[in-house]
Amino acid sequence: MTLNKPHVLLTGGAGYIGSHTYVALVEAGYQPVILDDFSNSHPVVLDRLQHLTGQRVVCERGDVLHTGLVTEVLQRHGCVAAIHFAGLKAVGESVEQPLRYYRTNVGGLVSLLQAMETADCRSVVFSSSATVYGDPAHIPVTEQSPCMPESPYAHTKLVCENILASLKGADPSWRVGVLRYFNPVGAHPSGLIGEDPSGAPNNLMPYVTQVAVGKRAKLRVFGNDYATPDGTGVRDYLHVSDLAEGHVAAVRALLAREQSFTVNLGTGEGTSVLGVLDAFERASGQPIPFEFAPRRAGDVAKYFADVSMAEDLLGWRATRSIDDMCRDSWRWQQNNPDGYRTAGNAPTSPVHSLRAGVASPALTGGVV
């Protein structure tokens, strides 16, 4: 019975991290409510979520910039908290289209917060990123490390963090959880949901899986002359299911305590690009052809998180290994070579909503 469960709004809940968080929230006894405009996701994910959770998926189609719609969704479902995933995330694209990034990422957050105020729902978890630290001088990166964003995307995340701090300063009844993700990869172990980039992937893991499945000829390893053990870039890769559980811990902490927090979510361990390739070859049995290429503009040599604050404040720590991440990414890619658009993946159930009322005709949003 979903009526008694605490309802949590997930803006961007049909996307990569949002969909995994949906599953984790259901497993933890919450009722997530997705609000997504499907600008970077596919409705087939809703069928998959229904299959994984064994219950109808609550999803409203709409733009988070539409404050009236967001208010209506929060009120109708009686949401007690929101997790704000909706946004744009490609660093390179943000350099070319800064206004679009500020409008969606910053405008989207302001719109959500205004809606939450109207709906008297003042607990929010925000998807921030380790990219706010820029090129950190000290590793592991703690939450006290200086924030020195280097791209418009990174700036939007820091502006959003500042907006949340201002709001909390003006009205202490707000509870704000800022989560700075390191490098989320992997997929649900079922192989039913995963990362579904459109076009050529920018990020390492989806590129590797597309090489493994034969969609791309070879990986280009950007830089082999960094000051790292094998010369390639080192990152803190984090299984998306661990990240999803981090969101559950954050919501639980916000609802249980008055405290707000800003925490890193990572494993605390760094893996080089060649280390990822080794792990992937072990997990998949597939050789990954690669060549070394020049460094990619804007990349830093090495960073990984200090994760002690997440453990202290949220009681959360990552449990899945790089081998788990590779195995689950590979399963997802094998089962869905073209992501959710893979032939035979047409949505089977047109309506996925437990909505209690009928939306005002003035609203542009609808139920998927």
Q: Which two tokens stand for residue 98?
A: 């800064």
Residues 6 or more apart whose Cβ sits within 8 Å of residue 332: 187, 188, 191, 193, 194, 195, 209
Examine the residue annotation and report whether 133 is marked as an active-site residue of this protein: no
Q: What is the DSSP string of 2-62?
A: -TTSPEEEEETTTSHHHHHHHHHHHHTT-EEEEEE--TT--THHHHHHHHHHTS---EEE-
Report the residue closest to ligand NAD, judged by CB.
Answer: 15
SS3 of 194-223: the string is CCCCCCCCCCHHHHHHHHHCCCCCCEEEEC
And the tokens for 290? 């690669």
Give the total of residues touching ligand NAD (CB under 6 A): 26
115-134 residues in contact with ligand UFG (CB under 6 A) are 129-131
| 171/364 with CB nearer ligand NAD | 364
Which residue of the set 153, 181, 237, 340 is catalytic?
153
Within positions 140 to 179, which residues make up the interface with ligand NAD, using CB under 6 A?
Answer: none
Does residue 181 interact with ligand NAD by CB under 6 A? Answer: yes
Interaction of residue 203 with ligand UFG, rule CB under 6 A:
yes
Query: In the set 22, 85, 207, 261, which binds ligand NAD (CB under 6 A)?
Result: 85
The residue among 3 and 250 lying less far from ligand NAD, judged by its C-beta, is 250
SS3 160: helix
302 binds, among ligand NAD, ligand UFG, none (CB under 5 to 8 A by kind): none
Amino acid letter, residue 42: H
Give, as ranges, the residues between 19 and 58 that touch ligand NAD (CB under 6 A). 36-41
Give DSSP secondary structure letters for 71-100.
HHHHHHHTEEEEEE--S---HHHHHH-HHH
127 binds, options ligand NAD, ligand UFG, none, Cβ within 5 to 8 A by partner type: ligand NAD
Whole-number Å distance between alpha carbons of 86 and 174: 20
SS3 148: coil
Does 235 contact ligand UFG by CB under 6 A? yes
Residue 248 binding target from ligand UFG, ligand NAD, none, CB below 5 to 8 Å by type:
none
β-pair partners for 219: 290
Residues in touch with ligand UFG (CB under 6 A): 89, 91, 129-131, 181-183, 202-204, 207, 219-222, 233, 235, 273, 296, 299
Residues near ligand NAD, by CB under 6 A: 11-12, 14-18, 36-41, 63-65, 85-87, 89, 104, 108, 127, 129, 181, 184
